[in-house]
Amino acid sequence: MKPICIIAGMGPGVSMGVAQLFAQKGYALLMLARNLAKLEKYAADFKAQGHTAYAASVELSHFENLRQQFPQLLAQYGPPEVLVYNAAVLRQGVPSQMRAEDLLQDFQINVGAALVCAQQVIPAMAEAKKGTLLFTGGGLALEPYYRFASLAVGKAGLRNLAQSLAQELAPKGLKVGTVTIAGLVKEGTHFDPARIAEKFWELHQAPLAGHPFEIIYR
């Protein structure tokens, strides 16, 4: 039976690169996002290539629904070995004109849902004493840009969350990491999703002892 890799916030770009690499490495994919039609198309494409892939519609901003859906998904597909959290809200806006309500709404996806998703898989991973939580970070966490203030706050929060989880979960045998992408993701460049995906795999494969919580991809 293939190990499961859950990708929350599945879409084109980084998450697709990660999905393709993990599928090639023998993982079954469970892809989560709002648009089920797109996910089913992705799943069909992966299956046509001989891979195992499943799709499920989730609304990541609805935390209580997530808490209800995840046990059903784990019961149906099995506990994951890997969780990749890739969702983010790319809102433009300078801080002096940004509504606090919008900042908090974005934070639900940028950080809050990442925590909720992680919390749903940690118990099974801890019981197995094996598992990896991976997060798609951003260079804005290191060097904020004022025109994307909300995303900068979100990526900084996600980076802190990943480091906190890494500190907590390492004694339980779990690995946590974030790939902090300090550049514009674009195919055919240094920031090609396929190249970035290799860093997710590197974090997953790194030994638990001395496991880095972050790879900064510049």
Is 27:1 a contact under the CB 8 Å cutoff? no
Per-residue pLDDT tens digits for 76-101 = 999 999 999 999 999 999 999 999 99
Whether the predicted model's global pTM rises above the 0.85 cut: yes
Which phi and psi (to 5°) does residue 30 adopt? -120, 105
Is 202:25 a contact under the CB 8 Å cutoff? no
Position 76 scores a pLDDT of 98
Position 130 scores a pLDDT of 96
The percent of the chain in helix, strand and coil, each rounded to the nearest 5, is 50, 20, 30
Helix, strand counts (H, E) of the chain: 7, 7
Is 158:176 a contact under the CB 8 Å cutoff? no
Which residue positions in the chain have pLDDT lower than 50?
none
Q: Residue 12 CB: number of other CB atoms within 10 A? A: 12
Domains (range + CATH), the chain: 4-217 (3.40.50.720)
